[in-house]
Every structure is written in structure tokens, then in C-alpha cells.
Amino acid sequence: MGFGKDLLNGSISLVVSVAATVAMADDDDAYNTTDVALAVAVSAFLSGFFTSYFAGE
């Protein structure tokens, strides 16, 4: 797989994970939804990207 494919897989993982997190978020003010979504976005992108990168070897 090429770098573009790895980037695409990371982006898809990011979108799916953030959408699911925001859709299931409660309004109890225990956590700031923006901060949680940002943390999930970074984690999901890196997970999707590196899974794709290392699976291609």
C-alpha cells in the first residue's frame, strides 16, 4: 500500500470514530465534548494510519 492509501485509512478511521463519539456524548458536563472529540480524532487517525502502514509490509 502507498502513503496515500494509509492516509485515507487514517482519515476514514478519524471520521467514523469522531462521529460515533459525538453522537453518543452525554450533556452531563463531566467532560468538554470538543476536547474528547479532539482526543478521539488524534487517536483514531494514528491508529488507522499505522495499522494500514504496518499491514502493508
Is 40's pLDDT higher than 80?
A: yes
> pTM of the predicted model, to two decimals?
0.83
What mean pLDDT, rounded, does the chain reach? 90
DSSP assignments along 1-57, one per residue: --HHHHHHHHHHHHHHHHHHHHHH--SSSSS-HHHHHHHHHHHHHHHHHHHHHHHT-
Q: Would you say residue 7 has pLDDT above 80?
A: yes
Domain span at residue 11 reads 3-55
Predicted pLDDT at 30: 79
Total domain count, the chain = 1
In the prediction, which pLDDT does 1 show? 58
